[in-house]
Amino acid sequence: MILKLSILSISILSLTACSHQQLYDAVQQGQQVECQKLQAEQYQQCMQKYAKPYQQYQQEREQVKK
């Protein structure tokens, strides 16, 4: 029983993490679409701002939480 509960808990946590990454990626993509409306230099700055991979974002977030 405890093993089944543990497996279920791990599965739920895995799905939640995946959902967070998908949400993050969707927001990033939306922002990048908005960047396309800008001129050259502003476009480059905007794209750099929204190019951070989820793993890097998550690591930085964990450091702030400590």
Question: Is-contact 61 53, C-beta < 8 A?
Answer: no
Instruction: Kindly state whether residue 63 falls inside one of the protein's structural domains.
Output: yes
* Domain encompassing residue 32: 23-66
Instruction: Kindly state whether residue 30 falls inside one of the protein's structural domains.
Output: yes
Six-digit token string for 53: 């991979």
* Summary mean pLDDT of the chain: 82
The whole-number pLDDT of residue 31 equals: 94
Instruction: Kindly state whether residue 5 falls inside one of the protein's structural domains.
Output: no
State the pLDDT confidence band at 12, using cuts at 50, 70 and 90. Answer: low
Give me the number of domains the chain comprises.
1
Q: What is the pTM of this model?
A: 0.64
The whole-number pLDDT of residue 19 equals: 83
Instruction: Kindly state whether residue 43 falls inside one of the protein's structural domains.
Output: yes
pLDDT top residue among 43 and 22: 43
Q: Nearest to residue 21, comparing CAs of 45, 49, 56?
A: 56
Six-digit token string for 2: 């405890």
Instruction: Kindly state whether residue 65 falls inside one of the protein's structural domains.
Output: yes
The whole-number pLDDT of residue 65 equals: 85
